[in-house]
Amino acid sequence: MDPKSVLNFANDEGVKFVDLRFTDLPGSWQHISFPISQLTEESFTEGFGFDASSIRGWANISESDMLLIPDPSRFWIDPFFEEPTLCLFADVVEPLTHQGYIYDPRSVAERAEAYLRSTGLADVAYFGPEAEFFVFDHVSFLNEPHHAFFRFESGEGNWTSDNPDENLGFRIRTKEGYVPVPPFDSLQDLRSEIALNLEAVGISPECHHHEVASGGQCEIDFRFASMLTTADNLMLFKYIVRNTALQYGKSVTFMPKPLYGDNGSGMHCHQSLWKDGQPLFGGDQYADLSEMALYYIGGLLKHAPAVVAFAAPTTNSYKRLVPGYEAPVNLAYSARNRSAAIRIPVLSKNPKTKRLEFRPPDPSCNPYLALSAMLMAGLDGILNKIHPGEPLEKDIYDMDEAEKLHIPRLPASLEEALAALEADHEFLLAGGVFTRELITRHIEYKRKREVEALRLRPHPIEFQLYFDV
């Protein structure tokens, strides 16, 4: 698509506003709206000026002027706004140089794709994420110096089985929520409407179903695409899911672990490399993979402790990444074995289906940074011929402790993951994809705003454990 096509579409649809979408450093979507009369062909090169000083993780007030450059390759009509509104993704650029802003996550993903092509190894990286989420009927929380709590409610939650009102007894038991039919699954119609709304904005849903946890855990899969398109799709996906749920009077969270004692929400990421329209991960090695695919796995496993600082980037992420809840905490690879950090799907021998599934990520991540970090780790493995060693064919959870000692593990906390990133990030700097400034800003932001915020606050469980000491 080109700017003229965007303008023609806006005219045909009677659009009144244009809404530019961009992403802050932690991964939240932001937007600014303009009357459609302000969108011209020149807007796609000259951009729209805005103040970036209040965007999380971005500029200081002394250097806050930035430009939003609309990307004409992708546009849609917002399905929730009352007035017809044309939406576009936008890149954030420096007004003096017209180069991508160093803290703009989408610019990182664009540089990652350019670097992939520059290596000559491949011309496209395909990603297919599986973002899980919870649907709640009520959510409240508070953090005061003398008072802290959270509470959520779900009509499906097994903890509501004694509800004296509107209780017909159908509740999903802990860890027994995977694909039951109604009346246990009460969210079928909501997920179907989400799927229809996704189609309306250009995302192709492939299936939807209830997930393992009680309390309204769901998954809606959509078709894989190139890395940048997939990151864009994830931002739009979360927006559509949340706002469709709001129309049903429900609230969605992509927190990795909102519910104690049950499965958390992951975002397993399928990925493969292609060149000239041909798949590169099919071959005659383990699980019908190519040598290139094994080296990609080797790089991803080697750098995984640093990668999860972007791919599992919250303190809550590491309440999911613990043994016993289908969480892939062990750095190994295997065909079919879902207890390994990297799984090789073996549903078909067709080379076009050959891919790997990296299982530690969760949907709290900034997809532009997380997918870029995965790609850079895999490319480092290929360029440096990092072999992943022998696959792990046994179920890790059935091993005794002596056997497990030989299997490296992911960091056990966000603090450990940030330390791993601090020690291992040279692979991210190749081709100028990530910058030291962005990595340092990410680490500092997470330590100050999240790690320290949690560390300094008394927790309700501490009162239960220690009040009477």
pTM (predicted TM-score): 0.96
Give the class (CATH, top level) of 124-467: alpha beta
Binding-site residues: 130, 132, 206, 211, 219, 222-224, 263-264, 268, 270-272, 320, 326, 338, 352, 357, 359
Question: Quick one: average pLDDT of 211-218?
Answer: 95
Lowest mean pLDDT among 121-130, 188-197, 402-411: 402-411
Query: Do the beta carbons of residue 321 and residue 360 sit within 8 Å?
Result: yes
Q: Mind listing the pLDDT tens digit for each residue in 253-300?
A: 999 999 999 999 999 999 999 999 999 999 999 999 999 999 999 999
Question: Quick one: average pLDDT of 309-316?
Answer: 98
**pLDDT score recorded for residue 61:** 58
Binding-site residues for L-glutamate: 263-264, 320, 326, 338, 359
Burial 401-421, CB ≥16 within 10 A → b, else e? eeeeeeeebbbebbbebbbbb
Q: For residue 137, what are its two tokens?
A: 């009927």
Query: Do the beta carbons of residue 93 and residue 44 sit within 8 Å?
Result: no
Burial 78-100, CB ≥16 within 10 A → b, else e? bbeeeeebbbbbbbbbbeeeeeb
On the CB side of 224, CA atoms within 13 Å amount to: 19
**pLDDT score recorded for residue 337:** 72
Q: What sections of 384-451 are H helices per DSSP?
A: 401-404, 414-423, 426-429, 436-446
Could you give the C-alpha distances from 369 to 88, 261, 374, in angstroms and in order? 20, 30, 9
Q: List the end-to-end C-alpha distance of the chain, in Å, as a whole number.
A: 67
Would you say residue 48 has pLDDT above 70? yes
Is 3-101's fold the same as 124-467's? no
Binding-site residues for Mg(2+): 130, 132, 211, 219, 268, 357
Question: Quick one: average pLDDT of 201-220?
Answer: 96
DSSP 449: I
Q: Which of these, 331, 311, 203, lies nearest to 267 by C-alpha position?
A: 311
Name the band, by pLDDT with cuts 50, 70 and 90, for residue 405: confident
Q: Mind listing the pLDDT tens digit for each residue in 335-387?
A: 977 778 999 998 899 999 999 999 999 999 999 999 999 999 999 999 999 99
Domain ranges for the chain: 3-101, 124-467
Mean pLDDT estimate for the chain: 94
Binding-site residues for ATP: 206, 222-224, 270-272, 338, 352
Catalytic sites, residue numbers: 51, 130, 132, 211, 219, 268, 338, 357, 359
Q: For residue 352, what are its two tokens?
A: 């076009």
Query: Is the domain defined by 3-101 classed in CATH 3.10.20.70?
Result: yes
